[in-house]
């Protein structure tokens, strides 16, 4: 490991990430190292880490290298591996644009949930403002059948039915009267049946704001409450459409929802063929170098 490791800091609707460019997959990012870098007091701070690797250089992505040059090796803030992060894909694409690897237009990004199609709109500035929004093809939602199709989530003495939606990672979507009912969301809300989510779950609490317009809070598995969750917003739009009788596969008409998150606003469209598109901002706010000796000493003292 070199004495200095380049990093950037970015966010998508305030879901924030440490970005570590490593095209040849030469940096050993252990779970402990990721958790240290994402520590908001003793590290850089982030909900997660985006490890930027060429697909051909990563054993989990080599089979996707013919479709996508770059692999988003995403890690949760606690160091655990995650299948997918919707806000993270947008920020990942913004980094590739900033670094000169890609330009405006279409690109493909490999993830553990498959290859995702991304479109970078023309931006009026380097800030990643709404004019330069990034659209990600998020794939199709999977709604399990049988006893695990509906689950229950709880906060304190309150419990709500929730819709089980998989967006490449698991979600439980609960409709509530007030977002404050979700509590602090620092710890994972209990859920039943346990068999529905053997590896844990992202839990979204949702209220209506108007026609095709909802707001949400989320507990992200491995991160706690975050300011935004892209896959969660997609899961919320899918669950809301089913509740509203607006299933695009049944109606033949795309369903578009505005989803407000604490960190901003996302636009989610589910097409008649089931494919879901998410549009929102992606911003790079800083770049610098990590002192590798500091990181090694932190890990040895842990």
Binding residues, as ranges, are 15, 76, 86-87, 169, 202, 220-221, 230-231
What is the C-alpha to C-alpha distance for residues 161 and 182, in angstroms, rounded to an integer? 13
What is the C-alpha to C-alpha distance for residues 222 and 40, in angstroms, rounded to an integer? 15
**Per-position DSSP letters for 119-176, written without gaps between them:** EEPPPSSTT--GGG-EEEEEEE-B---GGGSEEEEEETTEEEEEEEEESSSEEEEEE-
* Active-site pick, 18, 61, 64, 85: 85
38 flagged as catalytic: no
* Active-site pick, 68, 182, 214, 229: 229
242-246 contacts: CB < 8 A, separation 24 or more? 242/143, 242/163, 243/163, 243/175
229 flagged as catalytic: yes
Q: Could you tell me which residues are annotated as the binding site for substrate?
A: 15, 76, 86-87, 169, 202, 220-221, 230-231
What is the C-alpha to C-alpha distance for residues 80 and 67, in angstroms, rounded to an integer? 26
Q: Which residues neighbour 211 within 8 Å (Cβ) at sequence distance 6 or greater?
A: none
Query: Which sequence positions are flagged as catalytic?
Result: 85, 229
């Amino acid at each position: 490991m070199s004495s200095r490791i380049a990093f950037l800091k970015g966010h998508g609707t305030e879901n924030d990430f440490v970005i570590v460019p490593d095209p040849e997959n030469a940096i050993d990012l252990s779970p402990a190292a990721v958790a240290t870098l994402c520590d908001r007091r003793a590290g850089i701070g982030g909900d997660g880490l985006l490890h930027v690797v060429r697909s051909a250089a990563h054993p989990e992505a080599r089979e996707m290298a013919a479709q996508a040059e770059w692999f988003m090796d995403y890690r949760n803030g606690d160091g655990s591996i995650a299948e997918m992060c919707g806000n993270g894909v947008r920020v990942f694409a913004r980094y590739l644009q900033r670094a000169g690897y890609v330009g405006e237009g279409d690109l493909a990004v490999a993830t553990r949930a498959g290859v995702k199609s991304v479109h970078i709109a023309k931006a009026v500035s380097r800030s990643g403002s709404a004019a330069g929004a990034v659209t990600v093809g998020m794939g199709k939602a999977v709604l399990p059948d049988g006893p695990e199709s509906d689950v229950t989530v709880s906060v304190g003495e309150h419990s709500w039915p929730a819709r089980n939606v998989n967006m490449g990672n698991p979600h439980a979507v609960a409709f509530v009267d007030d977002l404050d009912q979700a509590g602090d969301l620092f710890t994972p809300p209990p859920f039943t049946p346990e068999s529905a989510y053997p590896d844990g779950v992202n839990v979204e609490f949702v209220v209506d704001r108007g026609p095709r317009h909802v707001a949400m809070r989320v507990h992200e598995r491995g991160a706690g409450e975050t300011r935004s969750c892209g896959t969660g917003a997609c899961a919320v739009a899918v669950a809301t459409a089913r509740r509203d009788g607006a299933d695009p596969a049944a109606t033949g008409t795309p369903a578009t929802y505005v989803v407000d998150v604490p960190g901003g606003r996302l636009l989610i469209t589910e097409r008649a063929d089931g494919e879901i598109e998410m549009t929102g901002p992606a911003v790079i706010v800083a770049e610098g170098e990590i002192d590798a000796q500091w990181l090694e000493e932190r890990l040895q003292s842990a």
